[in-house]
Structures are given as structure tokens and as C-alpha cells.
Amino acid sequence: MIRAFLALEVPAHIRSQLVLQQYLLPVDRKVPPENFHITLVFLGDSPLDRLEELHLALDKVRVPEMRLRIKGLGLFGKDKPHNLHAVVTPDEGLSRFQAKLLTLARNCGFQLTPRRFSPHVTLSYLRDGSFDRRELEMAVVRDAQFATDPFDVQEVALFRSVLRPDGAVHDVLERYGPEHR
């Protein structure tokens, strides 16, 4: 079994902009920049044969060219914030592509938990008692105008995620797009 997900990689110059923003945030547990990504479909613990079937299907998918931008910060977990992230501005092409990948994964036999798609880049995972909620909420409001440069996306990646005591490590198993055919 491999813990896996489909995501968009964040270009190096955007990662740098996110690291600068991340530095200003009043949190302890910051996601390392090499783990920055935009999750499209979380596959969970996946058998190798199912991942192989998905790989064959993804090899035939046309990845639309998209120009994305990150603007503002957000929190997941209203009563108990657990995720501080940079928000990807709404993009209809991205939403359609995510829905297509979700359907593709389901057609390959993945049992996926229904979730509303909210594209973002996680900057910090929050633990109770590790941050001052008021200070964090003020930082999110203060930095509402934070925005990266626009960036182009032409491929999607299949990631493996290995959970470790000091945080997850993500690595790309395969990329799909015009450069990888």
C-alpha cells in the first residue's frame, strides 16, 4: 500500500514567495517548502494494482494549460483551526480538471471521501495549544492582500506521502502532461 494523492506542483519562484509569507506567520509547525503542492484528489492508502490502473488512465488524460494565482490566507477548522493555508484563486478550468480526475480515480476503483474542492497550499498544520488563536486570526486578516505572481500549470503529479513523526515527506512518483508523453 502506498499513501498517495494527485496534485499540482508549485513552481520554485512561487515556493519562495510562500516561504517569505510563511516566515511572518505566528505558528510553530511550518510545512517545508519542498512539500508545497495543490492537492486535487487524495487517494489515501492505495494498493499497487489500483495505482497502476490509475497510472495507465492518467497517461491518456489531457492536462489543460492553466494560469493560477495564490491570493490571501485561510484556515480550515472553524471551531478548532487545524490548517493554515494560502488560497488558490478560483479558476473554473482547475475545478473542471479536478472533477475529471476525481471521476477517473473513482472509475479505477478508489473509494474517495466526498469533500468540497477548495484549492490551497498548506503552510502549517496547527495543533491545539501550539498557537495563539487571536494572533493567528489577526495575521490571516492582516495578510489578506498577500498574492503571488501568476504561474502556469501544464502537468499533474502522482505523489507518495510517507508519514513520519516530524511530518510527512512527499515525493513525485510520476508526472502527466505534454512533456511526459
Helix H, strand E, coil C: the string for 141-160 is HHCCCCECCCEEECCEEEEE
- Could you report how far apart the first and last alpha carbons of the chain are, in Å? 26
Contact criterion met (CB below 8 Å) for 171 and 160: yes
Confidence class for position 180, pLDDT limits 50, 70, 90: low
Tell me which CATH code domain 2-176 carries.
3.90.1140.10
pTM: 0.94
All three cell numbers of 78? 472553524
Mean of all residue pLDDT scores within the chain: 94
Q: How far is CA 17 from CA 110, 142, 161, 175, in A?
A: 35, 17, 24, 24
* pLDDT the model gives residue 19: 97
Contact criterion met (CB below 8 Å) for 167 and 31: yes
Overall average pLDDT of the 155-165 stretch: 94
* pLDDT the model gives residue 113: 86
Overall average pLDDT of the 146-161 stretch: 96
Per the DSSP assignment, residues forming a β-bridge with 45 are: 3
Q: Which residues have CB under 8 Å from 106's CB, separation 6+? A: 112
Backbone angles phi, psi at 23, to 5 degrees: -60, -35
Q: Where are the domains of the chain?
A: 2-176
* pLDDT the model gives residue 118: 97
pLDDT: which is higher, 53 or 29: 53
Contact criterion met (CB below 8 Å) for 158 and 55: yes
Overall average pLDDT of the 154-175 stretch: 93
Which long-range contacts (C-beta less than 8 Å, at least 24 apart) are formed by 60-65? 61/100, 61/101, 61/104, 61/156, 61/176, 63/97, 63/153, 63/154, 63/155, 63/156, 63/176, 63/177, 63/178, 64/93, 64/96, 64/97, 65/152, 65/153, 65/154
- Give the gyration radius of the chain's Cα atoms: 17
Contact criterion met (CB below 8 Å) for 38 and 88: yes
pLDDT tens digit string along 115-130? Answer: 899 999 999 999 888 8
Overall average pLDDT of the 25-51 stretch: 95
Percent of the chain whose pLDDT exceeds 70: 98
pLDDT tens digit string along 55-104? Answer: 999 999 999 989 999 999 999 998 899 999 999 999 999 999 999 999 99
